[in-house]
Amino acid sequence: MGWEIWGHTWAVNLLQGHLHQQRLRHAYLFCGPTGVGRRTLALRFAQALNCPAAPEAGQPCGTCRTCRQIAQMAHPDLFPVQAEGGGMLKVEQVRALQHDLQLAPYESPYRVALLLNLERATPSAQNALLKTLEEPPAHVILLITAEAPEALLPTIVSRCEVLRLRPLPIADLEAMLCTLQGLPPEYARELAHLAGGRPGLALRFYTEPERYQEHQRWIHDGLYLLGQKRLERFQYIENLSRDREKMRAAFQAWTTLWRDLWLCAANAPVPLTNLAFETSIRTLAHSLDEGQAARCLAALEQGIAYLDANLNARLLGETLLLGWPHLTMITDEIRA
Q: Is pLDDT of 1 > 80?
A: no
CATH C-level class of 214-334: mainly alpha
Tens digits of residue pLDDT in 111-143: 999 999 999 999 999 999 998 999 889 999 999
- Identify the pLDDT of residue 334: 55
- Identify the pLDDT of residue 325: 94
Contact 297, 314 (CB under 8 A): no
Q: Is pLDDT of 107 > 70?
A: yes
* Full-model pTM: 0.85
Across residues 280-284, what is the average pLDDT? 93
Higher pLDDT, 84 or 231: 231
Contact 282, 303 (CB under 8 A): no
- Identify the pLDDT of residue 152: 96
Is 125 exposed, middle or buried, given 0-12, 13-18 or 19+ CB atoms closer than 10 A? buried
Quick one: pLDDT band at residue 335, thresholds 50, 70, 90? low
Domain covering 9-164 in this structure, CATH number:
3.40.50.300
Residues paired with residue 164 on neighbouring β-strands, in sequence order: 31
Q: Is pLDDT of 45 > 90?
A: yes
- Identify the pLDDT of residue 86: 66
Contact 275, 233 (CB under 8 A): no
Contact 93, 126 (CB under 8 A): no
Give Rg (Cα) of the chain: 22
Domain 9-164 identical in fold to domain 214-334: no
Quick one: pLDDT band at residue 85, thresholds 50, 70, 90? confident
Q: Where are the chain's structural domains?
A: 9-164, 169-207, 214-334
Residues paired with residue 81 on neighbouring β-strands, in sequence order: 115
Task: Give the DSSP letter of residue 13.
Answer: H
What is the C-alpha to C-alpha distance for residues 293 and 268, in angstroms, rounded to an integer? Answer: 13
The widest CA-to-CA distance across the chain, in whole angstroms, is 65
